[in-house]
């Protein structure tokens, strides 16, 4: 049975947000709206709850070649970057592989860029249902390969690359880290923010927090139906926890909120990486909901999580 969020051990700021959303009136479930409307709905939530910071960061949009056409990207650099090549976080946004874009995750990328003093290369990969699995994986790995081969021309240090993302983006980052190892692309680290890692196993957190905690069971079914066929759930490019070899991967920093339906698989992935000999740490933010990092205007733990992410990046990027 799903827990009523009023009875759960929610962080007060997360509870205040959920109460506000409940009082604001009924929001149509994803199953009742089209993908374009769902994308607009997410953009509006982020607009109302994002952190507005005065970051000393420059941003430049550009397109790179992808496996099925051009891929939009946004390259962030610290304003005082100078001419030296910067280590780079290749960032994949969340949104269930169906929603989200460069703009929804712009504040998070700017904050990471400034606090880690690294470049951030954000990728606008193809979305489902227009482009189903494995289109997003293919675009993200193409972008990673671009950085490894051509990044220096844009001021990115190809010898100090990390991958990262939130939710669906965390899934894509985890998959790309495995693909990078197999393609002899050396990575410095993986920043996996409440990542989806397992389409096969149902963890108790899905039942505990699948209703009333922002990311709902209904939404997850909608994302799944749009993104991937059930026969592909066991493909490790969808479920990286099922990859046959998780050794020799870049160090991973993984974190989740304590009231997130993806908590179970995030923790399980960290444990499986560690068991395979890959350095992996798992941090829990008690009482926090899914997507809290994007909600930095109303949830202060977003700042804490991004500060700890920046410290991880600075450590793995250290020459």
User: What are phi and psi for residue 100, nearest 5 degrees?
Assistant: 90, 155
3-state SS class at 160: strand
Tell me the sheet residues that pair with 166: 193
Which of 122, 208, 290, 309 is labelled catalytic? Answer: 290
Residue with tokens 């994002």: 50
Distance of CA 255 to the CA centre of its chain: 11
Q: Are strands 252-257 and 57-66 parallel, antiparallel or unpaired?
A: unpaired
Q: Can 182 be counted among the known catalytic residues?
A: no
Tell me the sheet residues that pair with 284: 256
Q: Can 11 be counted among the known catalytic residues?
A: no
Which of 167, 205, 239, 309 is labelled catalytic? Answer: 167
Can you tell me the distance from the alpha carbon of 120 to that of 74, in angstroms, rounded to the nearest whole number? Answer: 8
Q: Determine if residue 160 is left, alpha or beta; phi over 0 gives left, psi from -120 to 50 gives alpha, anything else beta.
A: beta
Strands, E assignment, the chain:
57-66, 69-78, 86-92, 119-124, 156-166, 189-193, 252-257, 280-285
Are 14 and 292 in contact by the 8 Å Cβ rule? The answer is yes
Which of 101, 124, 260, 301 is labelled catalytic? Answer: 260
Show which residues are catalytic.
Answer: 167, 260, 290
């Amino acid at each position: 049975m799903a827990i009523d969020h009023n009875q759960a051990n929610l962080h007060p700021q997360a509870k205040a947000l959920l109460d506000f959303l409940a009082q604001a009136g009924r929001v149509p479930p994803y199953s009742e709206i089209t993908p374009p409307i769902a994308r607009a709905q997410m953009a509006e939530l982020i607009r109302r709850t994002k952190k507005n910071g005065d970051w000393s960061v420059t941003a430049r949009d550009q397109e790179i070649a992808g496996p099925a056409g051009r891929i939009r990207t946004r390259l962030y650099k610290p304003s005082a970057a100078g001419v030296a090549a910067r280590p780079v976080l290749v960032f994949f946004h969340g949104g269930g592989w169906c929603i989200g874009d460069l703009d929804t995750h712009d504040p998070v990328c700017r904050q990471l860029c400034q606090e880690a003093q690294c470049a951030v290369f954000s990728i606008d990969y193809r979305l489902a249902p227009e482009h189903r699995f494995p289109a997003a994986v293919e675009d993200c790995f193409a972008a990673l390969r671009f950085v490894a081969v051509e990044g220096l021309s844009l001021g990115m240090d190809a010898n100090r690359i990390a991958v990262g993302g939130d939710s669906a983006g965390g899934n894509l980052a985890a998959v790309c880290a495995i693909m990078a190892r197999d393609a002899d692309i050396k990575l410095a680290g993986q920043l996996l923010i409440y990542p989806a890692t397992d389409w096969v196993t149902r963890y108790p957190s899905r039942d505990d927090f699948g209703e009333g905690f922002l990311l709902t069971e209904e939404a997850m079914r909608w994302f799944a139906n749009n993104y991937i066929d059930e026969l592909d759930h066991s493909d490790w490019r969808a479920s990286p926890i099922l990859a046959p070899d998780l050794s020799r991967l870049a160090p991973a920093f993984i974190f989740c909120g304590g009231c997130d339906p993806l908590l179970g698989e995030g923790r399980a992935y960290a444990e499986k990486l560690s068991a395979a000999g890959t350095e992996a740490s798992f941090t829990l933010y008690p009482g926090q909901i899914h997507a809290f990092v994007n909600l930095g205007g109303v949830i202060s733990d977003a700042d804490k999580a991004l500060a700890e992410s920046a410290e991880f990046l600075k450590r793995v990027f250290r020459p």
